[in-house]
Chain A
């Protein structure tokens, strides 16, 4: 079996005047939730054989994300790096990732695409579904538990009103939550081994993706206004003198919150 891993990195802090995310230098670490995705992929390969390919799309420092993947134990890393990708919405990103996965799959068939449940602090959690739609793969999202057996993948997931167990034949796409596992830390051996592993850097031309179909201008949504939320006003902080609970009740009534 061959397992591929598709982390969606990004650590984001603020929006610039152009409505795009401002990225501080050195922020390009592996998204914490993608560590759960990597762990899931690595554990499956340990159980069933195959290899993990860490894939990311993003600017120069996004390579840190796939490097961390290599340190944790991925065999290969692919970094799609192209200025034209900047400002893409989730659908542009999904188009690029899908093209990269198809290319990886041309060498060895991809059995499973694993993603994190969302970019922490990210703007959407839409990527796994958009990517599954692009790749025409069955999607098993928000896995709190994940098993592969007899050519099928099965996940348990918690929704707002129900809990579910879903199954689908491979190949498939899975997104995992932070309930799924405890990600391993790269050990010294892993860190040393990762130095020898090359990162395959691809451009949109390599993937046959029209640069005009992605990026900020092609995005279907546009941030027209962004501002830090004003701080809360008239805040109250008190030490309990034995009657704070009574005053809280009165305050709630006074402010029509009950």
Chain B
């Protein structure tokens, strides 16, 4: 028998400054519905188009995914780009709604928010989780892989409020059986002076490329040392697959591609449905950031590359021959 939570399950509704929902939010909502009644938390920087709350189209989208209420936080003059500010807002909202769980997307800044909500609300926190459910004792249990993706664990949260940050691509988002019309509720939160003691001097949102965001993409094609700085074959295949382009530490250190493309334990952690590594040796630091990927394909001219140990499909060969051939064939098969 499945137990569900009685208190609301709050979902942080991450969105771009335009107000458009991040794709990962729909995954969170899908998981949240299996836990209990779903409420959205909307946090936007004052003065941005999204500050007033979700627009009608977004609200309809949230309704399709079963959101019962959307709480729009009014943080006054506090800067909503600062993790401590967001954390204070969510802590107040969790207390005010009697929330049993808070779900967030596992991004760098959300993990900071999760840690601070944990301290303030005395709530157990699991980050980089790949799933969440309620056990027969009514506790939230989160699944996650550890040690560079080589172990799977299940972590029970013992506190009244459970905070879980979920990795992108944890679940295939599906709409609710019955759509809802979310109620909009506004909550004014008096943010402490301490939370705003740091200030944002510069904030440059990355220009949205035609490719999906690396941390959220279902397909990621990664170039490593073997590209020798020529990412054209990697990019071509990524575009045929509608995927994102990533890189190893070597490739970013060489300046072949920006540091924001680095996958690994000190870069972005990804778990796409399909990972294709080209000229990637598979050093342990890199594997830590991609080993949870659904299917791993590797193309490398060195048969001794450690990435072949974890690849579902490995090709010992020249990436500049194999990748264009695959891209051309996919184009042909797709007509």
Contacts and interface: CB of A to CB of B under 8 A. Distances in A.
Interface size class of A (residues with CB under 8 A): 35 or more
B192 to A, nearest CB: 9
A176 B288 CA distance: 19
Interface in A206-249: 219-229, 232, 234-240, 242-246, 248-249
Contacts of A134: 119
B162 to A, nearest CB: 9
Contacts of B159: 220
B155 to A, nearest CB: 5
Contact of B127 (A14, A126, A144, A169): A126
Contacts of B98: none
A228 B150 contact: yes
A121 B324 contact: no
A172 B200 CA distance: 15
B116 A245 contact: no
Given A164-B200, A179-B259, A239 B316 contact: yes
Interface string B143-164: 0011111111111111100000
A251 B115 contact: no
B257 to A, nearest CB: 13
B145 A229 contact: yes
A109 interface: no
A94 interface: yes
A131 to B, nearest CB: 9
A255 interface: yes
For the residues of A in contact with B, the DSSP-based class is: mixed
B198 A166 contact: yes
Interface stretch (B1-9, B47-55, B304-312): B304-312
Contacts of B108: 141-142, 159-160
Nearest to B81: A164
A198 B245 CA distance: 49
B210 interface: no
Interface string B263-301: 001101000011000000000000010000001110000
Interface stretch (B60-68, B180-188, B326-334): B326-334
Contacts of B329: 245-246, 249-250
Given A177-B266, A227-B151, A236-B313, A166 B201 contact: yes
Contacts of A60: none
Interface string A5-16: 000000011110
Contacts of B317: 239-240, 244
Contact of A169 (B119, B128, B197, B260): B197
Contact of A162 (B145, B198, B203): B203
Nearest to B194: A136
Interface string A141-163: 11010000000001000111111
Contact of B323 (A179, A223, A227, A245): A245
B215 A160 contact: yes
Contacts of A257: 219, 273-274, 295
Given A228-B150, A252-B274, A126 B114 contact: yes
B120 A223 contact: no
A232 B310 contact: yes
Contacts of B157: 220-221
B31 interface: no
A236 B268 CA distance: 27
Contacts of A249: 325-326, 329-330, 333
A89 interface: yes
Given A141-B112, A162-B206, A236-B312, A245 B324 contact: yes
Given A159-B108, A168-B197, A225 B154 contact: yes
Contact of B124 (A118, A123, A159, A221): A221
Interface string A121-141: 101111111101110101111
A235 B310 CA distance: 9
A89 B155 CA distance: 12
B318 interface: yes
Contacts of A167: 198-199, 201
12 contacts: A12-B147, A124-B127, A126-B112, A129-B116, A141-B83, A220-B124, A227-B153, A228-B151, A235-B311, A235-B312, A237-B313, A245-B323
Interface of A: 12-15, 19, 33, 89-91, 94, 117-118, 120-121, 123-130, 132-134, 136, 138-142, 144, 154, 158-169, 172, 177-179, 219-229, 232, 234-240, 242-246, 248-253, 255, 257-258
Interface of B: 16, 81-84, 87, 107-109, 111-112, 114-116, 118-120, 122-128, 141, 145-159, 194, 197-206, 213-215, 219, 241, 259-260, 265-266, 268, 273-274, 288, 295-297, 303, 308, 310-318, 321-326, 328-330, 333-334
